């Protein structure tokens, strides 16, 4: 969703901000804008559509200054257009604001400000913030104080950055609630502000993450952080090790393609250093802060997440219940806080999130915190809110994921939770040494098995060509691969815009089987796992109704190759880990179908990488 970049220093701010915004394109946006202080006057350029439109505008009417802010907008209030794009000015032209989040009470504020004489130039909720700050500046207040006063009027969660020609030597940045992050990058005689790390990593690795309800005054030489009510904050400087090159496409056509292929490495990194292969003795997840006492005390785990991360959670439930013999419930995060879940201090709530900034997931975590649960997270983005809110976390070892469709951040949590299940099972006495050693030995094979799936890309491309013009698809899975059906269908629909449904195979006969005919390809996930025979009979039933069947099956399975129209082969994989391999051909299939259809694979329409509004 919306992206923010700010710069204050001695270099030309415009190219720095534009290149930062470019690195945030993956978040999804529909318009963009930039404001720069030119000779102590604010100049603004804004444009609808892609960043290249804004770049053309800036090339036609250049502006040079050493302080500025920029924004990519994902419309919530008001259509995507130049006038609704951020930054937004107040009436005097002295205050300009960019903002992520939704001002929930903006209609009341707009009425109130209009009655005081404010004239609005956009349909956005953001514009009220600029007018509010001006209201307090007019009373002679300093910018930071005026911003503070203004922010106290806003309902909802926000990341806000403010620039004013009245105090041109500073930028104000604030984080209120959980509307995505604000990170300040510390340079030498220059400072950077962004909603996400990739925007600033080419300039600095020393960063400070603002916590909720903190406000920063950023000058060329320094950073001062206070709480919203003015108390000084001792902030921590993090040194980020992410390689900015990891966020480049390299030899690949799309980030998604690159990220699918990175899974051998990401899964190797996921396992590395956390598993004692030599003695099969155990799993190390130190950041989780899981003591033997806590492991024994836990009575129930809730896994909460959205979208792809929720599918990973559904598999996580099966892993923890089977390996650690502990009850797990999975909740879609956007529903969790509305159903009054029964939680106490012996309950763990585990949030899974690639971005660590998904508003619904953070709200579910807050609900869990209020109810007294132990909070864990499994997060990819370093320093994100979901990582910092938790009592303990497992960090996904994926590096930046840029493609909007999540791939490597789906397989990483499967392995993370497998390791967590072993750790819990061991600490709770549910696993004996030989069981643990066998589970750990299986884990060691994962990167190689995934590599073997990737080597079969040519075969997947052939199937992609056969399906490229289809209108609908149904994905069927059972047992531990039932969520794989959901995930395969989600991947296809989000990037190819083909209507795809994931279904538990056993539910077919309760309705969806009516859909099957020769126009409806059926993608059946049927590796040799405990549900294999059942899946086979499902495939027979689809074939009997004229359906075209594409099976995901274990190499060498002749029964499947005799009945399916196409087979996507995966190597024989221990069943608890089979979702890690069965999803790989489905990711590649979705990717190649979308690429064949000539679609914007990395930034599909209407989608955002990080969903920071409810």
Residues of this chain that interact with ligand F6R (CB under 6 A) are 306-309, 353-355, 358, 361, 405-406, 490, 494, 610-611
- Which residue number, 332 or 466, has a Cβ lying nearer to ligand F6R? 332
Residue 120: which of 146, 89, 156 has the closest Cα? 89
Q: What is the distance between the alpha carbons of residues 176 and 155, in angstroms, rounded to a whole number?
A: 9
- Which residue number, 35 or 199, has a Cβ lying nearer to ligand F6R? 199
- Which residue number, 347 or 378, has a Cβ lying nearer to ligand F6R? 378
Q: Is 506 helix (H, G, I), strand (E, B) or coil?
A: helix
Q: Is 300 a known active-site residue?
A: no
Q: On the CB side of 291, how many CA atoms lie within 13 Å of its CA?
A: 5
- Among the listed residues 2, 306, 453, 473, the single catalytic one is 2
Copy the structure tokens of residue 436. Answer: 């643990």
Q: Is 609 a known active-site residue?
A: yes
Q: How far is the CB of 379 from ligand F6R (least distance, A)?
A: 8
Q: Is-cis flag, bond preceding 87, omega within 30?
A: yes
Q: Which residue is nearest to ligand F6R (CB)?
A: 307
Q: How far is CA 336 from the centre of its chain?
A: 18
- Which residue number, 125 or 494, has a Cβ lying nearer to ligand F6R? 494
Q: What is the distance between the alpha carbons of residues 9 and 139, in angstroms, rounded to a whole number?
A: 29
- Which residue number, 411 or 610, has a Cβ lying nearer to ligand F6R? 610
Q: How far is the CB of 151 from ligand F6R (least distance, A)?
A: 26
Residue 474: which of 571, 542, 563 has the closest Cα? 542
Q: How far is the CB of 251 from ligand F6R (least distance, A)?
A: 23
Q: What is the distance between the alpha carbons of residues 31 and 148, in angstroms, rounded to a whole number?
A: 28
Residue 593: which of 488, 490, 461, 473 has the closest Cα? 461
Q: How far is the CB of 353 from ligand F6R (least distance, A)?
A: 3
Q: What is the distance between the alpha carbons of residues 399 and 412, in angstroms, rounded to a whole number?
A: 11
> 39's torsion region: left (phi>0), alpha (psi -120 to 50) or beta?
left
- Where do we find the tokens 């108390």? 231
Task: Give the Cβ contact number of residue 221 at 10 Å.
Answer: 12
Q: How far is the CB of 337 from ligand F6R (least distance, A)?
A: 15
Q: How far is the CB of 6 from ligand F6R (least distance, A)?
A: 23
Q: What is the distance between the alpha carbons of residues 201 and 247, in angstroms, rounded to a whole number?
A: 10
The residues annotated with a catalytic role in the active site are 2, 609
């Amino acid at each position: 969703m919306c992206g923010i970049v700010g710069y204050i220093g001695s270099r030309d701010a415009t190219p720095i901000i534009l290149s930062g915004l470019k690195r945030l394109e993956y978040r999804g946006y529909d318009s963009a804008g930039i404001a720069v202080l030119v000779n102590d006057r604010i100049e603004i350029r804004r444009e609808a559509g892609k960043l290249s439109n804004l770049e053309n505008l800036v090339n036609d009417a250049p502006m040079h200054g050493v302080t500025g802010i920029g924004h990519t907008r994902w419309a919530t209030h008001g259509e995507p257009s130049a006038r609704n794009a951020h930054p937004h000015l107040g009436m005097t032209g002295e205050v300009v604001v960019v903002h992520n989040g939704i001002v929930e009470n903006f209609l009341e504020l707009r009425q109130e400000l209009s009655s005081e004489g404010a004239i609005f130039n956009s349909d956005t909720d953001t514009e009220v913030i600029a007018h509010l700050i001006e209201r307090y500046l007019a009373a002679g207040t300093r910018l930071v104080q005026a911003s503070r006063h203004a922010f106290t009027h806003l309902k909802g969660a926000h990341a806000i950055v403010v620039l004013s020609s009245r105090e041109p030597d500073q930028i104000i940045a604030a984080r209120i609630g959980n509307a995505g992050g604000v990170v300040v990058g510390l340079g030498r005689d220059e400072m950077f502000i962004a909603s996400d790390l990739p925007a600033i990593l080419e300039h600095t690795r020393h960063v400070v993450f603002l916590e909720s309800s903190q406000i920063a005054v950023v000058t060329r030489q320094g950073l001062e952080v206070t709480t919203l009510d003015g108390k000084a904050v001792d902030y921590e400087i993090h040194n980020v090790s992410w390689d900015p090159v990891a966020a480049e496409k390299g030899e690949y056509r799309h980030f998604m393609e690159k990220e699918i292929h990175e899974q051998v490495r990401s899964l190797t990194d996921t396992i590395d250093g956390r598993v004692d292969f030599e003695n099969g003795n155990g799993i190390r997840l130190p950041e989780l802060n899981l003591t033997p006492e806590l492991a024994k005390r836990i009575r129930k785990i809730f896994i909460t997440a959205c979208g792809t991360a929720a599918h990973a959670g559904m598999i996580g439930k099966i892993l923890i219940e089977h390996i650690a013999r502990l009850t797990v419930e999975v909740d879609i995060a956007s529903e969790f806080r509305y159903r009054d879940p029964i939680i106490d201090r012996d309950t763990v709530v585990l949030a899974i999130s690639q971005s660590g900034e998904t508003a619904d997931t953070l709200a579910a975590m807050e609900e869990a915190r209020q109810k007294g649960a132990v909070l864990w997270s499994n997060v990819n983005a370093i320093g994100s809110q979901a990582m910092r809110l938790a009592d303990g976390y497992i960090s996904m070892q994926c590096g930046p994921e840029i493609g909007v469709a999540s791939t490597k951040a789906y397989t990483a949590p499967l392995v993370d939770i497998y390791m967590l299940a072993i750790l819990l099972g061991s600490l709770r006495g549910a696993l004996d040494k030989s069981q643990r050693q066998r589970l750990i030995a299986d884990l060691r094979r994962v990167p190689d098995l995934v590599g073997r799936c990737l080597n079969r890309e040519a075969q997947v491309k052939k199937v992609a060509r056969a399906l490229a013009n289809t209108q609908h698809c149904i994905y069927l899975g059972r047992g531990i691969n039932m969520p794989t059906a959901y995930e395969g269908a989600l991947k296809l629909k989000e990037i190819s815009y083909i209507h795809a449904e994931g279904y538990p195979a056993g539910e077919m006969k309760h309705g969806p089987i009516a859909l099957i005919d020769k126009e409806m390809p059926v993608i059946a996930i049927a590796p040799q796992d405990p549900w294999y025979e059942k899946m086979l009979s499902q495939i027979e039933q689809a074939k009997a109704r004229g359906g075209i069947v594409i099976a995901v099956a274990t190499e060498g399975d002749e029964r499947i190759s005799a009945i399916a129209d196409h087979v996507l082969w995966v190597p024989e994989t221990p069943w608890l880990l089979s979702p890690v391999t069965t999803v790989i051909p489905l990711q590649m299939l979705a990717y190649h179908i979308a690429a064949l259809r000539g679609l914007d694979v990395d930034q599909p329409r209407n989608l955002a990488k990080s969903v920071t509004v409810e």
